[in-house]
Structure 1
Protein backbone atom coordinates (compact mmCIF):
# COMPACT_ATOMS: atom_id res chain seq x y z
CA UNK A 1 0.00 0.00 0.00
CA UNK A 2 1.51 3.25 -1.14
CA UNK A 3 1.43 6.37 1.02
CA UNK A 4 -0.67 9.31 -0.16
CA UNK A 5 1.29 12.15 -1.70
CA UNK A 6 1.34 15.37 0.33
CA UNK A 7 -1.00 18.16 -0.79
CA UNK A 8 0.51 20.88 -2.94
CA UNK A 9 1.58 24.01 -1.05
CA UNK A 10 -0.93 26.80 -0.88
CA UNK A 11 -0.25 29.73 -3.20
CA UNK A 12 1.20 32.76 -1.44
CA UNK A 13 -1.34 35.34 -0.39
CA UNK A 14 -0.63 38.72 -1.86
CA UNK A 15 -0.86 41.52 0.65
CA UNK A 16 -3.50 44.15 0.00
CA UNK A 17 -2.33 47.24 -1.84
CA UNK A 18 -0.81 49.89 0.36
CA UNK A 19 -3.09 52.89 0.70
CA UNK A 20 -1.45 56.27 1.28
CA UNK A 21 -2.45 58.29 4.32
CA UNK A 22 -5.07 60.99 3.90
CA UNK A 23 -2.89 64.06 3.46
CA UNK A 24 -2.88 67.21 1.39
CA UNK A 25 -0.89 66.88 -1.81
CA UNK A 26 2.23 68.98 -2.25
CA UNK A 27 2.44 68.38 -6.00
CA UNK A 28 -1.15 68.23 -7.30
CA UNK A 29 -2.62 71.44 -5.94
CA UNK A 30 -4.10 74.77 -6.93
CA UNK A 31 -4.93 76.22 -3.50
CA UNK A 32 -4.12 73.91 -0.61
CA UNK A 33 -3.76 70.47 -2.16
CA UNK A 34 -6.99 69.15 -0.64
CA UNK A 35 -8.44 67.80 -3.88
CA UNK A 36 -5.10 66.27 -4.85
CA UNK A 37 -4.82 64.56 -1.46
CA UNK A 38 -8.36 63.19 -1.70
CA UNK A 39 -7.57 61.88 -5.18
CA UNK A 40 -4.41 60.11 -4.01
CA UNK A 41 -6.30 58.54 -1.11
CA UNK A 42 -9.47 57.44 -2.94
CA UNK A 43 -8.23 56.87 -6.49
CA UNK A 44 -10.84 59.29 -7.87
CA UNK A 45 -9.65 61.86 -10.37
CA UNK A 46 -8.89 65.18 -8.61
CA UNK A 47 -10.91 67.04 -11.23
CA UNK A 48 -14.07 65.38 -9.92
CA UNK A 49 -13.27 66.50 -6.38
CA UNK A 50 -12.67 70.07 -7.55
CA UNK A 51 -15.91 70.11 -9.54
CA UNK A 52 -17.71 68.84 -6.45
CA UNK A 53 -16.35 71.68 -4.30
CA UNK A 54 -17.33 74.24 -6.94
CA UNK A 55 -20.84 72.75 -7.23
CA UNK A 56 -21.38 72.92 -3.47
CA UNK A 57 -20.12 76.49 -3.42
CA UNK A 58 -22.51 77.58 -6.16
CA UNK A 59 -25.39 75.65 -4.61
CA UNK A 60 -25.38 76.95 -1.05
CA UNK A 61 -21.97 78.39 -0.30
CA UNK A 62 -20.95 75.27 1.64
CA UNK A 63 -18.15 74.17 -0.67
CA UNK A 64 -15.79 76.81 0.69
CA UNK A 65 -16.55 75.83 4.29
CA UNK A 66 -15.96 72.14 3.56
CA UNK A 67 -12.69 72.91 1.74
CA UNK A 68 -11.42 75.05 4.61
CA UNK A 69 -12.32 72.38 7.16
CA UNK A 70 -10.45 69.76 5.16
CA UNK A 71 -7.52 72.13 4.80
CA UNK A 72 -7.37 72.43 8.59
CA UNK A 73 -7.95 68.75 9.35
CA UNK A 74 -5.71 67.16 6.70
CA UNK A 75 -1.96 67.33 7.40
CA UNK A 76 0.39 68.21 4.58
CA UNK A 77 1.95 65.34 2.67
CA UNK A 78 5.65 64.54 3.02
CA UNK A 79 8.23 66.18 0.82
CA UNK A 80 9.81 63.53 -1.40
CA UNK A 81 13.54 63.81 -1.78
CA UNK A 82 15.39 62.84 -4.95
CA UNK A 83 15.48 59.10 -5.35
CA UNK A 84 12.89 58.44 -2.62
CA UNK A 85 9.96 56.43 -3.95
CA UNK A 86 6.58 58.04 -3.68
CA UNK A 87 3.77 56.27 -1.87
CA UNK A 88 1.80 54.06 -4.26
CA UNK A 89 -1.55 55.52 -5.23
CA UNK A 90 -4.71 54.00 -3.85
CA UNK A 91 -6.68 51.54 -5.96
CA UNK A 92 -9.18 52.89 -8.41
CA UNK A 93 -12.63 52.66 -6.88
CA UNK A 94 -15.85 52.50 -8.90
CA UNK A 95 -17.82 53.11 -5.70
CA UNK A 96 -16.05 56.40 -5.01
CA UNK A 97 -16.46 57.60 -8.58
CA UNK A 98 -20.17 56.73 -8.62
CA UNK A 99 -20.63 58.43 -5.25
CA UNK A 100 -19.00 61.67 -6.42
CA UNK A 101 -21.02 61.58 -9.66
CA UNK A 102 -24.21 61.00 -7.69
CA UNK A 103 -23.29 63.87 -5.40
CA UNK A 104 -22.95 66.24 -8.36
CA UNK A 105 -26.25 65.06 -9.86
CA UNK A 106 -28.15 65.51 -6.60
CA UNK A 107 -26.67 68.97 -6.00
CA UNK A 108 -27.53 69.99 -9.56
CA UNK A 109 -31.13 68.81 -9.15
CA UNK A 110 -31.45 70.73 -5.88
CA UNK A 111 -30.13 73.88 -7.57
CA UNK A 112 -32.82 73.53 -10.26
CA UNK A 113 -35.50 73.01 -7.61
CA UNK A 114 -34.36 76.09 -5.68
CA UNK A 115 -34.18 78.31 -8.76
CA UNK A 116 -37.35 77.28 -10.59
CA UNK A 117 -39.76 76.36 -7.77
CA UNK A 118 -40.97 78.22 -4.65
CA UNK A 119 -39.14 75.67 -2.50
CA UNK A 120 -36.03 77.13 -0.83
CA UNK A 121 -33.83 74.25 0.30
CA UNK A 122 -31.21 76.43 1.94
CA UNK A 123 -27.67 75.33 2.85
CA UNK A 124 -28.89 72.70 5.28
CA UNK A 125 -30.92 71.05 2.53
CA UNK A 126 -27.91 70.90 0.22
CA UNK A 127 -25.67 69.50 2.93
CA UNK A 128 -28.27 66.94 3.99
CA UNK A 129 -28.68 65.76 0.39
CA UNK A 130 -24.91 65.48 -0.07
CA UNK A 131 -24.61 63.58 3.21
CA UNK A 132 -27.33 61.17 2.06
CA UNK A 133 -25.42 60.40 -1.15
CA UNK A 134 -22.20 59.77 0.78
CA UNK A 135 -24.09 57.49 3.16
CA UNK A 136 -25.44 55.45 0.26
CA UNK A 137 -21.89 55.21 -1.08
CA UNK A 138 -20.73 53.79 2.26
CA UNK A 139 -23.53 51.22 2.17
CA UNK A 140 -22.48 50.20 -1.33
CA UNK A 141 -18.85 49.96 -0.27
CA UNK A 142 -19.79 47.34 2.32
CA UNK A 143 -20.50 44.92 -0.53
CA UNK A 144 -17.32 45.64 -2.48
CA UNK A 145 -14.08 44.16 -1.20
CA UNK A 146 -10.59 45.62 -1.59
CA UNK A 147 -11.68 48.40 -3.92
CA UNK A 148 -13.98 50.60 -1.87
CA UNK A 149 -12.22 53.51 -0.11
CA UNK A 150 -14.42 53.53 2.97
CA UNK A 151 -11.96 55.80 4.77
CA UNK A 152 -12.30 58.52 2.15
CA UNK A 153 -16.09 58.36 2.20
CA UNK A 154 -16.13 58.39 5.99
CA UNK A 155 -13.85 61.44 6.00
CA UNK A 156 -16.06 63.22 3.47
CA UNK A 157 -19.17 62.31 5.46
CA UNK A 158 -17.58 63.59 8.66
CA UNK A 159 -16.73 66.93 7.05
CA UNK A 160 -20.25 67.24 5.65
CA UNK A 161 -21.64 66.53 9.11
CA UNK A 162 -19.44 69.23 10.66
CA UNK A 163 -20.48 71.69 7.97
CA UNK A 164 -24.14 70.82 8.57
CA UNK A 165 -23.77 71.44 12.30
CA UNK A 166 -21.95 74.72 11.64
CA UNK A 167 -24.65 75.89 9.22
CA UNK A 168 -27.38 74.97 11.67
CA UNK A 169 -25.71 76.98 14.43
CA UNK A 170 -25.49 80.22 12.41
CA UNK A 171 -28.71 79.99 10.40
CA UNK A 172 -31.98 81.39 11.71
CA UNK A 173 -34.82 79.05 10.92
CA UNK A 174 -38.34 79.78 12.21
CA UNK A 175 -41.49 77.67 12.07
CA UNK A 176 -45.03 78.85 11.58
CA UNK A 177 -46.12 81.95 9.69
CA UNK A 178 -43.21 84.16 10.60
CA UNK A 179 -40.45 85.04 8.20
CA UNK A 180 -38.09 82.29 7.28
CA UNK A 181 -34.31 82.47 7.31
CA UNK A 182 -32.14 81.36 4.44
CA UNK A 183 -29.11 82.41 2.43
CA UNK A 184 -28.77 85.47 0.23
CA UNK A 185 -29.12 89.23 0.45
CA UNK A 186 -32.46 90.59 1.68
CA UNK A 187 -33.83 94.14 1.47
CA UNK A 188 -37.07 95.39 3.07
CA UNK A 189 -38.61 98.87 2.62
CA UNK A 190 -42.00 99.06 4.33
CA UNK A 191 -43.85 102.33 3.68
CA UNK A 192 -46.57 102.00 6.35
CA UNK A 193 -46.68 100.74 9.92
CA UNK A 194 -48.92 97.86 8.86
CA UNK A 195 -46.25 96.60 6.47
CA UNK A 196 -43.61 96.29 9.19
CA UNK A 197 -42.99 92.71 10.21
CA UNK A 198 -42.58 91.91 13.89
CA UNK A 199 -39.57 89.77 13.04
CA UNK A 200 -36.93 89.62 10.32
CA UNK A 201 -34.61 86.60 10.09
CA UNK A 202 -31.74 85.67 7.81
CA UNK A 203 -29.24 82.86 8.12
CA UNK A 204 -26.42 84.19 5.92
CA UNK A 205 -26.23 87.23 3.67
CA UNK A 206 -26.61 90.99 3.89
CA UNK A 207 -29.83 92.29 5.44
CA UNK A 208 -31.10 95.83 4.85
CA UNK A 209 -34.18 97.24 6.62
CA UNK A 210 -35.20 100.75 5.50
CA UNK A 211 -37.87 102.35 7.71
CA UNK A 212 -37.28 105.89 6.48
CA UNK A 213 -40.64 106.07 4.65
CA UNK A 214 -42.65 105.44 7.83
CA UNK A 215 -44.61 108.49 9.04
CA UNK A 216 -43.86 108.80 12.75
CA UNK A 217 -47.19 110.60 13.32
CA UNK A 218 -49.00 107.37 12.41
CA UNK A 219 -47.34 105.42 15.23
CA UNK A 220 -49.66 105.25 18.26
CA UNK A 221 -47.58 102.81 20.29
CA UNK A 222 -44.06 101.45 20.21
CA UNK A 223 -43.36 99.24 17.21
CA UNK A 224 -41.33 96.21 18.32
CA UNK A 225 -39.06 94.69 15.68
CA UNK A 226 -36.92 91.61 16.34
CA UNK A 227 -34.03 90.92 13.98
CA UNK A 228 -32.30 87.53 14.03
CA UNK A 229 -29.27 87.54 11.73
CA UNK A 230 -26.65 84.81 11.43
CA UNK A 231 -23.81 86.00 9.21
CA UNK A 232 -23.47 89.09 7.02
CA UNK A 233 -23.80 92.85 7.26
CA UNK A 234 -26.92 94.36 8.82
CA UNK A 235 -28.04 97.90 7.92
CA UNK A 236 -31.10 99.57 9.47
CA UNK A 237 -32.35 103.06 8.59
CA UNK A 238 -34.99 104.80 10.74
CA UNK A 239 -36.87 108.08 10.23
CA UNK A 240 -34.98 111.20 11.25
CA UNK A 241 -37.65 112.29 13.78
CA UNK A 242 -38.14 108.90 15.46
CA UNK A 243 -37.19 107.96 19.00
CA UNK A 244 -35.50 104.56 18.93
CA UNK A 245 -34.47 102.06 21.55
CA UNK A 246 -31.87 99.51 20.42
CA UNK A 247 -31.24 96.25 22.29
CA UNK A 248 -28.22 94.62 20.69
CA UNK A 249 -26.60 91.22 21.11
CA UNK A 250 -23.57 91.25 18.81
CA UNK A 251 -21.11 88.45 18.15
CA UNK A 252 -18.17 89.17 15.83
CA UNK A 253 -17.96 92.39 13.86
CA UNK A 254 -18.14 96.20 14.10
CA UNK A 255 -21.13 98.06 15.50
CA UNK A 256 -22.26 101.59 14.60
CA UNK A 257 -25.53 102.57 16.28
CA UNK A 258 -26.08 106.26 15.62
CA UNK A 259 -22.35 106.78 15.90
CA UNK A 260 -21.95 104.64 19.02
CA UNK A 261 -20.72 101.10 19.52
CA UNK A 262 -23.59 99.81 21.65
CA UNK A 263 -27.35 100.05 22.09
CA UNK A 264 -29.51 102.25 24.27
CA UNK A 265 -32.22 104.89 23.95
CA UNK A 266 -31.74 107.32 21.07
CA UNK A 267 -34.21 110.22 20.94
CA UNK A 268 -34.76 112.41 17.93
CA UNK A 269 -32.50 115.42 17.44
CA UNK A 270 -34.85 117.69 19.41
CA UNK A 271 -34.57 116.04 22.82
CA UNK A 272 -36.86 118.60 24.50
CA UNK A 273 -39.87 117.23 22.64
CA UNK A 274 -39.05 113.60 23.37
CA UNK A 275 -41.46 111.83 25.74
CA UNK A 276 -39.07 108.90 26.35
CA UNK A 277 -41.51 106.62 24.55
CA UNK A 278 -39.70 105.22 21.54
CA UNK A 279 -41.51 104.85 18.26
CA UNK A 280 -39.31 101.84 17.45
CA UNK A 281 -37.79 99.19 19.68
CA UNK A 282 -35.17 97.19 17.79
CA UNK A 283 -34.07 93.90 19.35
CA UNK A 284 -31.08 92.70 17.34
CA UNK A 285 -29.45 89.29 17.65
CA UNK A 286 -26.50 89.30 15.27
CA UNK A 287 -23.72 86.71 15.10
CA UNK A 288 -21.07 87.55 12.49
CA UNK A 289 -20.67 90.75 10.47
CA UNK A 290 -21.10 94.51 10.80
CA UNK A 291 -24.15 96.26 12.23
CA UNK A 292 -25.14 99.82 11.34
CA UNK A 293 -28.22 101.68 12.59
CA UNK A 294 -28.63 105.22 11.25
CA UNK A 295 -31.20 107.90 10.51
CA UNK A 296 -32.47 108.81 7.07
Structure 2
Protein backbone atom coordinates (compact mmCIF):
# COMPACT_ATOMS: atom_id res chain seq x y z
CA UNK A 1 0.00 0.00 0.00
CA UNK A 2 1.38 3.40 -1.01
CA UNK A 3 0.13 6.80 0.05
CA UNK A 4 -0.17 9.43 -2.69
CA UNK A 5 0.50 13.14 -2.71
CA UNK A 6 -3.07 13.75 -3.86
CA UNK A 7 -4.33 12.06 -0.67
CA UNK A 8 -2.15 14.35 1.45
CA UNK A 9 -3.34 17.41 -0.49
CA UNK A 10 -6.97 16.34 -0.04
CA UNK A 11 -6.37 15.98 3.68
CA UNK A 12 -4.92 19.50 3.83
CA UNK A 13 -8.03 20.91 2.16
CA UNK A 14 -10.27 18.88 4.45
CA UNK A 15 -8.76 19.98 7.76
CA UNK A 16 -7.91 23.56 6.73
CA UNK A 17 -8.81 26.03 9.46
CA UNK A 18 -9.47 23.26 11.98
CA UNK A 19 -5.88 22.57 13.09
CA UNK A 20 -3.13 24.94 14.16
CA UNK A 21 -0.84 25.87 11.25
CA UNK A 22 2.78 24.94 11.79
CA UNK A 23 5.25 27.47 13.16
CA UNK A 24 8.86 27.11 12.05
CA UNK A 25 11.72 28.76 13.88
CA UNK A 26 15.48 28.95 13.26
CA UNK A 27 17.42 26.74 15.66
CA UNK A 28 20.46 29.02 15.51
CA UNK A 29 21.80 32.02 13.62
CA UNK A 30 23.19 30.08 10.65
CA UNK A 31 19.89 29.86 8.79
CA UNK A 32 20.49 26.20 8.00
CA UNK A 33 18.80 24.40 10.90
CA UNK A 34 15.12 24.92 11.61
CA UNK A 35 12.56 23.55 14.05
CA UNK A 36 8.97 22.73 13.09
CA UNK A 37 7.06 23.37 16.31
CA UNK A 38 4.31 20.79 15.90
CA UNK A 39 4.24 20.14 19.66
CA UNK A 40 2.04 23.27 19.75
CA UNK A 41 -0.68 21.40 17.84
CA UNK A 42 -4.06 20.62 19.45
CA UNK A 43 -3.69 17.79 22.02
CA UNK A 44 0.07 18.38 22.08
CA UNK A 45 1.07 16.37 19.02
CA UNK A 46 0.76 15.96 15.25
CA UNK A 47 -1.79 13.18 15.81
CA UNK A 48 -4.63 15.71 15.81
CA UNK A 49 -4.19 16.16 12.04
CA UNK A 50 -4.70 12.53 11.15
CA UNK A 51 -7.51 11.93 13.64
CA UNK A 52 -9.48 14.87 12.30
CA UNK A 53 -8.89 13.94 8.66
CA UNK A 54 -10.04 10.39 9.44
CA UNK A 55 -13.36 11.48 10.93
CA UNK A 56 -14.06 14.25 8.40
CA UNK A 57 -13.45 11.88 5.47
CA UNK A 58 -15.85 9.35 6.95
CA UNK A 59 -18.42 12.08 7.52
CA UNK A 60 -18.08 13.16 3.87
CA UNK A 61 -18.51 9.57 2.73
CA UNK A 62 -21.52 8.95 4.97
CA UNK A 63 -19.66 6.26 6.90
CA UNK A 64 -19.44 7.96 10.28
CA UNK A 65 -21.73 5.80 12.48
CA UNK A 66 -23.97 7.01 15.28
CA UNK A 67 -22.02 4.69 17.60
CA UNK A 68 -19.01 6.97 17.22
CA UNK A 69 -15.36 5.97 17.02
CA UNK A 70 -13.15 3.65 19.02
CA UNK A 71 -9.39 3.25 19.33
CA UNK A 72 -6.86 1.45 21.49
CA UNK A 73 -4.29 3.97 22.68
CA UNK A 74 -3.40 5.63 25.92
CA UNK A 75 -0.99 7.97 24.21
CA UNK A 76 -1.10 10.76 21.65
CA UNK A 77 -3.35 8.88 19.20
CA UNK A 78 -6.00 8.30 21.83
CA UNK A 79 -5.96 11.94 22.87
CA UNK A 80 -6.23 13.07 19.25
CA UNK A 81 -9.08 10.67 18.54
CA UNK A 82 -11.01 11.90 21.58
CA UNK A 83 -10.40 15.54 20.64
CA UNK A 84 -11.44 15.05 17.02
CA UNK A 85 -14.54 13.12 18.07
CA UNK A 86 -15.57 15.90 20.43
CA UNK A 87 -15.13 18.45 17.63
CA UNK A 88 -17.47 16.38 15.46
CA UNK A 89 -20.03 15.82 18.19
CA UNK A 90 -19.64 12.05 18.31
CA UNK A 91 -18.66 9.61 21.04
CA UNK A 92 -15.13 8.29 21.42
CA UNK A 93 -14.48 5.04 23.28
CA UNK A 94 -10.80 4.60 24.09
CA UNK A 95 -9.40 1.30 25.35
CA UNK A 96 -6.27 1.22 27.51
CA UNK A 97 -4.51 -1.47 29.51
CA UNK A 98 -5.04 -1.29 33.26
CA UNK A 99 -1.37 -0.37 33.59
CA UNK A 100 -1.88 2.99 31.83
CA UNK A 101 -0.77 6.01 33.90
CA UNK A 102 -3.60 7.78 35.69
CA UNK A 103 -2.60 11.11 34.15
CA UNK A 104 -3.36 9.74 30.66
CA UNK A 105 -6.69 8.31 31.75
CA UNK A 106 -7.66 11.65 33.25
CA UNK A 107 -6.56 13.59 30.17
CA UNK A 108 -8.62 11.35 27.90
CA UNK A 109 -11.63 11.77 30.16
CA UNK A 110 -11.18 15.56 29.99
CA UNK A 111 -11.80 15.34 26.23
CA UNK A 112 -15.06 13.53 26.90
CA UNK A 113 -13.86 10.04 25.98
CA UNK A 114 -15.39 6.90 27.42
CA UNK A 115 -12.23 5.33 28.82
CA UNK A 116 -12.18 1.56 29.32
CA UNK A 117 -9.33 -0.29 31.00
CA UNK A 118 -8.78 -3.83 29.74
CA UNK A 119 -5.96 -6.32 30.35
CA UNK A 120 -2.37 -5.45 31.09
CA UNK A 121 -0.91 -4.93 27.60
CA UNK A 122 -1.67 -2.81 24.55
CA UNK A 123 -2.61 -5.98 22.64
CA UNK A 124 -5.42 -6.60 25.14
CA UNK A 125 -6.78 -3.10 24.61
CA UNK A 126 -6.50 -3.45 20.83
CA UNK A 127 -8.45 -6.71 20.84
CA UNK A 128 -11.11 -5.12 23.03
CA UNK A 129 -11.47 -2.12 20.71
CA UNK A 130 -11.96 -4.44 17.73
CA UNK A 131 -14.60 -6.44 19.58
CA UNK A 132 -16.34 -3.21 20.58
CA UNK A 133 -16.37 -2.02 16.97
CA UNK A 134 -17.78 -5.36 15.79
CA UNK A 135 -20.55 -5.45 18.39
CA UNK A 136 -21.60 -1.79 18.43
CA UNK A 137 -20.90 -0.62 14.91
CA UNK A 138 -18.44 2.03 16.11
CA UNK A 139 -15.82 3.16 13.60
CA UNK A 140 -12.48 1.50 14.38
CA UNK A 141 -9.53 3.87 14.23
CA UNK A 142 -5.82 3.12 14.43
CA UNK A 143 -2.87 5.02 15.84
CA UNK A 144 -0.96 5.06 12.53
CA UNK A 145 -1.76 2.23 10.12
CA UNK A 146 -4.46 3.90 8.03
CA UNK A 147 -4.08 6.03 4.87
CA UNK A 148 -6.40 8.76 6.16
CA UNK A 149 -4.41 9.00 9.39
CA UNK A 150 -1.10 9.13 7.50
CA UNK A 151 -2.37 11.63 4.93
CA UNK A 152 -3.52 13.93 7.70
CA UNK A 153 -0.10 13.74 9.33
CA UNK A 154 1.51 14.51 5.98
CA UNK A 155 -0.21 17.90 5.82
CA UNK A 156 2.54 19.03 8.16
CA UNK A 157 5.06 18.73 5.30
CA UNK A 158 2.95 20.89 2.99
CA UNK A 159 2.99 23.65 5.58
CA UNK A 160 6.73 23.30 6.21
CA UNK A 161 7.39 23.63 2.48
CA UNK A 162 5.26 26.78 2.30
CA UNK A 163 7.39 28.37 5.01
CA UNK A 164 10.80 27.05 3.90
CA UNK A 165 10.48 26.56 0.10
CA UNK A 166 14.20 25.95 -0.41
CA UNK A 167 14.42 23.22 2.22
CA UNK A 168 16.86 20.38 1.47
CA UNK A 169 15.97 17.81 4.15
CA UNK A 170 13.44 17.12 6.87
CA UNK A 171 14.22 15.05 9.96
CA UNK A 172 11.39 13.10 11.56
CA UNK A 173 11.11 10.51 14.33
CA UNK A 174 9.45 7.21 13.41
CA UNK A 175 7.27 4.92 15.50
CA UNK A 176 4.75 2.94 13.50
CA UNK A 177 5.25 5.21 10.52
CA UNK A 178 2.08 7.27 10.11
CA UNK A 179 3.81 10.65 10.36
CA UNK A 180 6.79 9.38 8.39
CA UNK A 181 4.60 8.01 5.57
CA UNK A 182 2.76 11.30 5.18
CA UNK A 183 5.85 13.46 5.37
CA UNK A 184 7.88 11.26 3.00
CA UNK A 185 5.07 11.26 0.43
CA UNK A 186 4.76 15.04 0.46
CA UNK A 187 8.52 15.62 0.68
CA UNK A 188 9.11 13.50 -2.43
CA UNK A 189 6.72 15.75 -4.35
CA UNK A 190 8.98 18.71 -3.53
CA UNK A 191 12.29 16.90 -3.96
CA UNK A 192 13.11 17.06 -0.24
CA UNK A 193 15.21 14.37 1.41
CA UNK A 194 13.76 12.65 4.49
CA UNK A 195 15.79 11.46 7.48
CA UNK A 196 13.83 8.79 9.37
CA UNK A 197 15.10 8.55 12.93
CA UNK A 198 14.43 5.73 15.40
CA UNK A 199 15.80 4.74 18.79
CA UNK A 200 18.39 1.98 18.44
CA UNK A 201 16.25 -0.33 20.59
CA UNK A 202 12.95 0.65 18.98
CA UNK A 203 13.59 0.20 15.26
CA UNK A 204 10.50 -1.12 13.50
CA UNK A 205 11.13 0.70 10.20
CA UNK A 206 14.88 0.08 10.17
CA UNK A 207 14.32 -3.63 10.76
CA UNK A 208 11.70 -3.78 8.02
CA UNK A 209 14.12 -2.20 5.55
CA UNK A 210 16.81 -4.72 6.47
CA UNK A 211 14.39 -7.63 6.12
CA UNK A 212 12.65 -6.31 3.02
CA UNK A 213 9.30 -6.80 4.73
CA UNK A 214 7.41 -5.71 7.84
CA UNK A 215 8.69 -7.59 10.90
CA UNK A 216 8.11 -7.53 14.65
CA UNK A 217 10.81 -5.98 16.85
CA UNK A 218 11.58 -5.82 20.55
CA UNK A 219 10.91 -2.51 22.28
CA UNK A 220 13.24 -1.14 24.94
CA UNK A 221 13.76 2.62 24.72
CA UNK A 222 13.10 5.71 26.77
CA UNK A 223 11.06 6.97 23.79
CA UNK A 224 8.91 3.83 23.61
CA UNK A 225 5.86 5.59 25.06
CA UNK A 226 5.37 7.36 21.70
CA UNK A 227 7.65 5.47 19.28
CA UNK A 228 7.14 1.95 20.63
CA UNK A 229 5.39 0.29 17.70
CA UNK A 230 6.34 -3.38 17.40
CA UNK A 231 6.02 -3.20 13.63
CA UNK A 232 5.99 -0.45 11.03
CA UNK A 233 3.10 -0.06 8.62
CA UNK A 234 3.32 -1.37 5.06
CA UNK A 235 2.86 2.25 3.95
CA UNK A 236 5.94 3.32 5.89
CA UNK A 237 8.06 0.55 4.42
CA UNK A 238 6.91 1.38 0.89
CA UNK A 239 7.73 5.06 1.41
CA UNK A 240 11.18 4.27 2.81
CA UNK A 241 11.93 1.97 -0.13
CA UNK A 242 10.73 4.25 -2.91
CA UNK A 243 11.55 7.80 -1.80
CA UNK A 244 14.79 9.65 -0.95
CA UNK A 245 14.97 8.43 2.64
CA UNK A 246 17.84 7.79 5.05
CA UNK A 247 16.99 5.49 7.97
CA UNK A 248 19.19 6.22 10.99
CA UNK A 249 19.34 5.09 14.60
CA UNK A 250 20.17 7.00 17.79
CA UNK A 251 20.76 5.66 21.29
CA UNK A 252 18.83 6.65 24.39
CA UNK A 253 21.68 8.75 25.77
CA UNK A 254 21.56 10.94 22.65
CA UNK A 255 17.78 11.26 22.92
CA UNK A 256 18.00 12.36 26.57
CA UNK A 257 20.76 14.84 25.70
CA UNK A 258 18.73 16.30 22.84
CA UNK A 259 15.65 16.75 25.03
CA UNK A 260 17.77 18.41 27.72
CA UNK A 261 19.38 20.69 25.13
CA UNK A 262 16.01 21.81 23.79
CA UNK A 263 15.00 22.85 27.28
CA UNK A 264 18.33 24.32 28.31
CA UNK A 265 18.97 26.32 25.13
CA UNK A 266 15.46 27.09 23.85
CA UNK A 267 13.10 26.49 26.79
CA UNK A 268 11.22 23.94 24.68
CA UNK A 269 9.78 20.99 26.61
CA UNK A 270 9.07 17.99 24.39
CA UNK A 271 8.55 14.27 24.82
CA UNK A 272 11.40 11.86 24.17
CA UNK A 273 9.88 10.87 20.85
CA UNK A 274 10.19 14.42 19.56
CA UNK A 275 13.76 14.73 20.87
CA UNK A 276 14.65 11.57 18.94
CA UNK A 277 14.54 13.54 15.69
CA UNK A 278 16.90 16.22 16.99
CA UNK A 279 19.30 13.60 18.36
CA UNK A 280 20.09 12.57 14.78
CA UNK A 281 21.69 15.93 14.01
CA UNK A 282 23.42 16.41 17.35
CA UNK A 283 26.77 18.16 16.78
CA UNK A 284 28.47 15.77 19.23
CA UNK A 285 27.76 12.51 17.39
CA UNK A 286 25.36 13.04 14.50
CA UNK A 287 23.67 10.05 12.90
CA UNK A 288 23.06 12.26 9.87
CA UNK A 289 25.50 14.86 8.54
CA UNK A 290 23.89 17.29 6.09
CA UNK A 291 25.96 18.78 3.29
CA UNK A 292 27.56 22.15 4.02
CA UNK A 293 24.98 24.90 3.73
CA UNK A 294 22.02 22.51 3.41
CA UNK A 295 18.78 23.72 4.97
CA UNK A 296 17.40 21.13 7.35
CA UNK A 297 14.15 21.15 9.35
CA UNK A 298 13.70 18.99 12.44
CA UNK A 299 10.10 18.11 13.28
CA UNK A 300 9.41 18.44 17.01
CA UNK A 301 6.28 16.35 16.93
CA UNK A 302 4.91 16.20 20.48
CA UNK A 303 5.02 17.67 23.96
CA UNK A 304 2.98 15.26 26.08
CA UNK A 305 5.69 14.77 28.66
CA UNK A 306 6.37 15.16 32.35
CA UNK A 307 8.61 18.27 32.52
CA UNK A 308 9.57 17.76 36.15
CA UNK A 309 13.03 16.43 35.24
CA UNK A 310 13.82 19.48 33.06
CA UNK A 311 15.26 21.58 35.81
CA UNK A 312 18.38 23.13 34.42
**Structure having the higher Rg:** 1
Which category describes the TM-score, using the shorter chain as reference length? Answer: under 0.3
Higher RCO (C-alpha under 8 Å, 6+ residues apart): 2
Task: Give TM-score, length-normalised by structure 2.
Answer: 0.24
Of Structure 1 and Structure 2, the greater helix share is in 2
Task: Give TM-score, length-normalised by structure 1.
Answer: 0.25
